[in-house]
Amino acid sequence: MFHGNEEEINAASVPATDDIEISGKCAYKDVHDEFDRSKKIAILDDGFTALNVKKNINIVLIDANIDIFMQNVIPAGILREPLSALKYADIIVINKCRPELLANPSEFKNEAEIKIKKYNKNCPVFYSYYKPDKLVSRNNAIPCEDLKGKKAAAVCAIGNPGYFYENLTGCGAEIDYKMEFRDHYEYAESNMKNLESLMAQNKEYIAITTLKDYVKLKRFNKSPIFDRIYYLDFEIVIDKAFFEYIYNIYKKNRT
């Protein structure tokens, strides 16, 4: 199981063979040896809408912070497909759940699954959330506990910055400044200059971004403040049954 962000995946070299081999860190260590015997798995980001690609498993991610059942298809809303397309999902994962809800999940799960089952009665539904792990810079890594009471400049260009901010404040950081851009924004030289000026005037600041944004900011690695830019690293918390379910499908397709 490979996990990284889309820029890193796109930048990876792909061998010219019939099968795409992607090696990386397995998120579920207990099945690592099984996958390691034959790593011939291609994971497509946003592959659900790619109708010209034959796929063995369609996984749909749903943001727990957004009620997609009240949304319309682009451009009237945020959906890329009508809700009826959920019938083609093999697995649905409701992500960014509140840890406290998953500790006592019956009411939360029932509400979400009742809506989903209207479109796909048989699809298994799993729940997950991101658990802040550490802050990582070019030459350093610090535990999230060290954020407590520190002033932060949050830098991001993602679809749901609110969840990013919540995780920072949940670690004890005081977000004193936000440099926020639209999703998929490509940072310009002027943006880095503004951040340099801000950091020069506020020596106590720590600049924190997401991994997705950090990859884009790497081209400014000659900046005098680049070593003061950290990305928030997460652990994905999800029931191990999710990986077992995928592996069972994988075994069936191998036979």
Are 34 and 114 in the same domain?
yes
3-state secondary structure (DSSP) of residue 186: coil
Inter-CA distances, 106 with 2, 116, 183, Å: 31, 15, 33
DSSP element (H, E) containing 216? helix 211-217
Same domain, 49 and 116: yes
Q: Are residues 190 and 92 part of one domain?
A: no
Domain count across the chain: 2
In a shared domain, residues 65 and 157: no
Question: What pLDDT sits at residue 239?
Answer: 83
Identify whether 90 is part of a domain.
yes
In a domain, 250, yes or no: yes
Same domain, yes or no: 29 and 60: yes
Residue 73 carries which DSSP code? B
pTM (2 d.p.): 0.73
Same domain, 103 and 32: yes
In a domain, 12, yes or no: yes
| 111-117: long-range pairs with CB below 8 Å, 24+ | 112/62, 112/64, 115/69, 116/62, 116/86, 116/92
Same domain, 117 and 148: no
pLDDT digits (tens, 9 = 90+) for 224-251: 999 999 999 998 888 888 988 988 887 8
| Residue 215 lies inside a defined structural domain of this protein | yes
Same domain, 30 and 77: yes
79 and 104 fall within a common domain: yes
82 plus 24 within the same structural domain: yes
Decide if 11 is inside a domain: yes
Pairing of strands 206-209, 59-63: unpaired
Q: Are residues 77 and 162 in the same domain?
A: no
Cα distance between residue 208 and residue 178, in whole Å: 10
210 located within any domain? yes
Q: Is residue 1 part of a domain?
A: no
Q: What pLDDT digit, counting tens, does each position of 160-191 carry? A: 899 999 999 999 999 999 999 999 899 999 99
10 and 79, same domain (yes or no): yes
| Whether 80 contacts 73, CB under 8 Å | yes
| pLDDT-flagged residues of the chain (< 70) | 1-40, 101-110, 255
C-alpha distance from residue 230 to each of 3, 134, 209, 238 (Å): 19, 9, 6, 25
Classify residue 62: in a domain, yes or no.
yes
Range of the domain at 138: 131-235
